[in-house]
Each structure stands twice: as C-alpha cells, then as structure tokens.
Amino acid sequence: MKRRAFLTGGATYGAALLTTGVSAAAADDERKAANGVRHLGQPCRARNIHAGVLVEDAGREWFVITNTNENANVELIFIDAKTDTGHVYRAPAGSGAWALKKLPGNRLAIGTYYDGMFLIFDVPTRKWVRQVKFPGEDYIWQVALGSDGRLYGGTYPGGRLGALDVDTGAFEDLGAPTPENKYLRWTTSLPDGRIHCNLQFERPQSLIFDPETKQFTPAPEHFNAVTKGAIWNGYYLHGNKAYRMPDLAVSDPLPFPAPPADAGAWAVDINLTDEKTLVLRQGTDFYEYRVGDPGLTKTVRLRARGSGGLFARNAGGQCYGIRGQDYFVISPAKPKQELRRIPGEAAPRGTHFLYADDQGRLWGGPTFGQTLFYMDIKTGKTVNTGVVSDDGGEVYGVEVLDGVCYAVAYAGGEVIRFDPAEPWNQLNHVNPKTIARVGPDYIRPQAGVRVGPEGRLYSGWLAKYGEYGGLLLITDPKTGKSEQVNDPLGPHGLSGVQPVGDGLVLLGSTIYGNGLGVQKDTPSRLGLFDLNAKKLVYSHDFPGSASLGSFVFDPATGIAAFTAVGGKLYLFDVNWRAFVGGANDGPAIEGLTGYNIVMLPGKSRVVYAIGDTLHARGLRTGATATLATLPAKIESISAAPDGAALYAACGVDVYEARLG
C-alpha cells in the first residue's frame, strides 16, 4: 500500500501490532471492481531478522540488521538507537541472509538465500559494491574470515565450502567434504585462522579447513558435537567449554571463572563475546569477564525465555537485541527492556497462506517471520501482528472459531491461540498463547490445520531435522488437550489432513524429511484413518509422487479433493473409498500451478488455479468453469464462508473475486 502506516499497541508490552488503513475516498477509488475482481492491497508487512552487528560511521553508532524480503530482496536496516530512526538498503539479490560479517575497511558481507550469493556493502558510501554467485547453491548459511583474508561460506543443498576474495571478487569452490550431508550449516573462524565447518544432517560432523593447505581434516571426536563458537583470548569457546589451539583439546580447568553452579546451566554467548570480552549467559542473566578481572561481573538481564535475542554489544556495555518486529537496547545503567518498532518502511511480502473467516476478515502470514496479518475485507484496515511465538519459523495455516484464531507453527511445533479482540500480550504468553506443543520431536505442520465436525483441530506434522516421521495431532481448542497418533501412514511426514466425519481422517504423506533428502523407493500415500479403531482402514500409494497436500472435503457429496506434486488434482469418494473424475484412479485435473485448492461452501465445487486464472469443477457433474482472471500468477487462495467470493494472493498482492 502506498500510504504511511501508523503504530498501535499497549504501551506496557511495547510495539505489538502494526495497523494500516485507507481513507474512504482512496478505498472507493482503489477497490473499484473490474469484471468482479478488486485489488485488496499488499497486506503482509512482516519483518524477519536473522543477524545483527554494530558499526561506526561518521561518529555515529549503527545497529545493522538483515531483514528477509522475498519480493524486494534482502535488506540491511541501519538503526540509530539514540534517535530511534532507521535507513533501509535493499540488496541487488537474495531473499534473506543468515550470514552477516564485518570486514576490514568498514565493509559488511552477507550470504543470501534462496540464490546463494555473496554480497559486499560499503558502509561509508552506503552502496552495494560486489555480488558473487556460488554456482549451483541456494543458501550460503554463515561466513567466516580465514587466515588468508578470504571470506568462507558453507551452503545448502550441496554442503559445499566456498572462498571469496572480498577485494577482487575472485571465487573458489572448495567442494563438498561429505557429499551425503546437504547442509554445511556453520562456518566459523578459529583463533589461528582455520575454518571450523559443521555439517548436517545425514552424518553430522565437524571438519577443519586449513586455508594454507586447502585441505579438510577431521576434528577430534569430542569436537564433533560443536556446531559453532566464539574466539576469546586465544581460545575457541562453545557451550560451557574452552578449546585450546591448535589441537582443539578441552581446556581443563577453564581459563575463566564460571557462574554459580547452583543457579543452573550456563553457556558462552557467541554473539556478544569478542577477543577481549567474554560474555556468559545463565538463564536470563548475563556476565562479563576480561583477563585480569577479579571475577565475573553481572551486567544485564532479559525478562524471560523468548523475550528476545541479543545480537551485539558495544564497548560501553550496551547490548542490542531483536524480538520479532521490534528492537531494544539494554545496559547495566538502563536495564529495562523496552521494545521499539524497527524503524524504516517495511516492504510488502508474499503470504504463506490465506484464510477468510466468518467475521469478514482475511488472514495470512509470511514465509519466515512468525507473524500474522488480518485484514478487514470491507474497509481494508490491516493489522500486522508481532511474533506469535517465542520460537523462530512461520505459521503454516490457521482456523478461526468464534472469532478466535488458532495457528499451527514451525519450528517449535506449536498450536497457538490468538484472540484479536483481546489486548496483545505475547511477551507474557497471555495472548497469543501456545495451547499445545509437539516439538522438539515434531516441528513442521506441513499439512496445516482443519476443524473437525466436533470442533476439534486436526493438524499434520513432520518429524524434527534428521529424522523421517509424521504425527497426527487432534487438539481441543478450549482446553488444549490433545490426542497424538504417531506415524499413521508409516514413518513418513504428513503433508495433508482432513477430518471427514464418523471418526475418520483422510491423510496424505510426503517422502521429504527435514534436513534430509527424499525417502528412496518410497511413494507418497493416501490413507483413511479410523480414530475409534486406531488403525488405517484404507490406503493407496502414489509411486513417483513426492507429496500429497491441500486436502479439502465436501460433506454434501462425501467427496474429498487433494493435490499431488506435479500439478495434479484428485477426487476421492470417502463413502465408496474410490477415486472419481479421472481414468484408472488418475487425476481429475492436471496442470495446476497454484499453492492450494479450496471447496466452495455449499456449492459442491472445488476451486483451483492455473496460471493467473481461477477455475472450478463440479464434484458430481464434472462440469468445469472459469471463475476469474487475475493480473498475475495465483499462489494461494481461500473462499468466503458463504461461498460468495474467492480471495487470491498473487505475489505480494491480494485480490477478491466476487462470484455470481
């Protein structure tokens, strides 16, 4: 939307909700329908911050953070905390960046996803000065400086290490040291300039790369579990241990004092520790230590778990942190954690899903960011929430019951309750609130969430990173009491779920696993699970298909619809347990390009997208019709509860199509 946003939210808990709207005249002008289609706006304005550092320029200190934007490219946001102002610098490539590194010459380096780029930014001129692609790779996870002055980055999906000369742009692909591992997730500098490479998930291990010999060598066995670390006083630190150079032996005793043992576990804070100042975290308390100090000094304290992450610390002891859409600065002199909305204009983002509720609102949320938006369809007023969870990730889908939103979220494996009519207080886990959790064993709600005829929530999940497996979760929205069915279709993730009445749930599987390749020689599977008998009463395999998803059901006909990878739509008669509408149990429709399908309530028609066009097919009649053509490719759709309208996301834009 081309208008200024204004902020609302309770002062007690900081900036939580971002509301945008339009004037009556502008709304009337913008929303004039063309052939029954009207543009509703660009409602998703969430930020997703992965990394942050402090830089100095022209006598000012700047907190610089990386922000994800799949549409406008990854951003560097420079925040001046003294004036609470910011400047946004959009990169020439990349959707987001986990990697952010300070370079000599007051420059910054980032490594991007989903295009695997090294980007160099010159701080004094505020310009992007170099862009280098890592051939064949989608992610550059983290970057580290080696003893040769080159910048090293690890990748996905090849699990490769690359080196960039930041001055000339010369790039060298150093190969995949363990080809079975798709993730070279962490690359960290050791005190002697070698590179610690941690690989995941097929055969997790750590290797050491020597820039002088250009060789990988295995790390000591005790070091394999170390993923990343920080350099302090010549030691490499991780967790509650210090490792000596060059053999990476554990230093015993520790070369620094430890926090009180009776106060619980503690660990080195990798973000805040530098070569001179050690920072330890124990619970919500932080300690500092420098060589020669008589002991640890307690410095700052966060309010609680999930109250934010600290990214950087300056010489004066001020710590800079991020919590969702907000930033904060704390120090021993000013210990109160006050959340302030990240300054600068938030560019629009695409939505991960759409959901039209019976209150006249349209819901969605970004891929990455763990936030929601909800729009008043009539007025255009839109609220972008703060984070709905203490864990990173994103919401995969929602259902709304009696005006209350229930969301399923990766990566903490949560079912979350959010009442937009009540005051926002996520920091204290009041609203929104997690009512059920299946993590850490199951983390990704690939199948989304559906409401059963009895009012319970049905969601389908994938197992944690490094494991195959699926979970059906059935949750009472009022109490949070849940029933779990592990691996109802075998040791495969669930990518589709739909309750169909009489205690039966239609399920679909995927052969993908978190952090893993596909399950070889394994088909995706359709299954009908009887909750009362606690067993599978029907199954059908789909050889050559990786996933089944977007399950919907029409009670009037007893027919369910779902999609298979490759743009295929299937119709399945639950009562007869037979496929309909296609030849030889084949698809009823092919060539789908949209993210999902929907049922038109009360119409016994399934709606799907091909390119920029919405189509419908009668479940019994087989008759097809073109419903609406939109300005761009359709990515996700939803239907109004009364069946009178469809809603579609095309990139960052959302449209309404009224049906006659």
Q: pLDDT, tens digit, for every residue of 590-609? A: 999 987 999 999 999 999 99
Distance CA 623, CA 602 (A): 16
Count CB neighbours of 212 within 10 A: 10
Say what the pLDDT of residue 269 is. 97
3-state secondary structure of 371: coil
3-state secondary structure of 545: coil
Distance CA 139, CA 112 (A): 6
Output phi, psi for 26, to 5 deg: -65, -40
Higher-scoring residue by pLDDT: 368, 274: 274
Say what the pLDDT of residue 22 is. 40
Q: CB within 8 A of 50, min separation 6: which ones?
A: 66, 68, 96, 97, 98, 100
Residues in the chain: 660
- Provide the β-strand partners of residue 28: none
3-state secondary structure of 286: strand
Alpha carbon of 208 to those of 19, 156, 384: distances in Å? 49, 18, 44
Say what the pLDDT of residue 381 is. 97
Tokens at 481, concatenated: 């009491």
Distance CA 362, CA 497 (A): 22
Count CB neighbours of 475 within 10 A: 23
The model's confidence at residue 35, banded by pLDDT at 50, 70 and 90, is low
Say what the pLDDT of residue 302 is. 86
- Express each pLDDT in 179-211 by its tens digit: 999 999 999 999 999 999 999 999 999 999 999
- Express each pLDDT in 239-279 by its tens digit: 999 999 999 999 999 999 999 999 999 999 999 999 999 99
The model's confidence at residue 306, banded by pLDDT at 50, 70 and 90, is low
**Closest Cα partner for 326 from 77, 613, 73, 117?**
77
Helix (H) or strand (E) holding 25: helix 24-30
Distance CA 287, CA 279 (A): 6
Helix (H) or strand (E) holding 612: none
The model's confidence at residue 32, banded by pLDDT at 50, 70 and 90, is very low
**Closest Cα partner for 447 from 463, 462, 460, 437?**
460
The pLDDT of residue 14 is above 80: no
| Average pLDDT rounded to a whole number, residues 526-548 | 96
Residue 60, CA atoms < 13 Å, CB-side half-sphere = 15
Instruction: Please tell me what DSSP assigns to residue 614.
Output: E
Say what the pLDDT of residue 19 is. 61
The pLDDT of residue 85 is above 70: yes
Say what the pLDDT of residue 540 is. 97
| Average pLDDT rounded to a whole number, residues 59-68 | 96
The pLDDT of residue 2 is above 90: no
Place of tokens 């059906």: 472
Say what the pLDDT of residue 660 is. 77
The model's confidence at residue 13, banded by pLDDT at 50, 70 and 90, is very low
Q: Are 73 and 94 in contact (CB under 8 A)?
A: yes
Say what the pLDDT of residue 16 is. 54
Alpha carbon of 284 to those of 99, 387, 595: distances in Å? 25, 20, 41
Helix, strand, coil in percent for the chain, rounding step 5: 5, 50, 50
Helix (H) or strand (E) holding 613: strand 613-618
**What DSSP string runs through 559-605?**
EEEEEETTTEEEEEETTTTEEESSGGG--SEE---SS--EEETTTTE
The pLDDT of residue 644 is above 70: yes
Say what the pLDDT of residue 584 is. 85
Count CB neighbours of 92 within 10 A: 10
Say what the pLDDT of residue 68 is. 94
Place of tokens 């298909």: 545
- Express each pLDDT in 122-146 by its tens digit: 999 999 999 999 999 999 999 999 9
Helices (H) and strands (E) in the chain, counts: 1, 59
**Closest Cα partner for 391 from 406, 366, 413, 375?**
413
Say what the pLDDT of residue 368 is. 86
Across 330-353, b (16+ Cβ under 10 Å) vs e yields bebeeeebebbbbbbebbbbbbbb
- Express each pLDDT in 141-186 by its tens digit: 999 999 999 999 999 999 999 999 999 999 999 999 999 999 999 9
Say what the pLDDT of residue 20 is. 56
The pLDDT of residue 359 is above 80: yes
Distance CA 429, CA 393 (A): 17
Q: CB within 8 A of 583, min separation 6: which ones?
A: none
Distance CA 451, CA 401 (A): 9
Instruction: Please tell me what DSSP assigns to residue 222.
Output: G
- Express each pLDDT in 401-417 by its tens digit: 999 999 999 999 999 99
Q: CB within 8 A of 645, min separation 6: which ones?
A: 356, 639, 656, 657, 658, 659
Say what the pLDDT of residue 30 is. 36
The model's confidence at residue 345, banded by pLDDT at 50, 70 and 90, is confident
Alpha carbon of 487 to those of 135, 459, 463, 490: distances in Å? 38, 13, 10, 5
**Closest Cα partner for 326 from 275, 370, 289, 278?**
370
The pLDDT of residue 21 is above 80: no
The model's confidence at residue 583, banded by pLDDT at 50, 70 and 90, is confident
3-state secondary structure of 156: strand
- Is 455 exposed, middle or buried (CB count within 10 Å of its CB: 0-12, 13-18, 19+)? exposed
3-state secondary structure of 463: strand
Q: Are 26 and 644 in contact (CB under 8 A)?
A: no
How does the average pLDDT of the chain come out, rounded?
93
Say what the pLDDT of residue 609 is. 98
Distance CA 392, CA 389 (A): 7
Say what the pLDDT of residue 618 is. 97
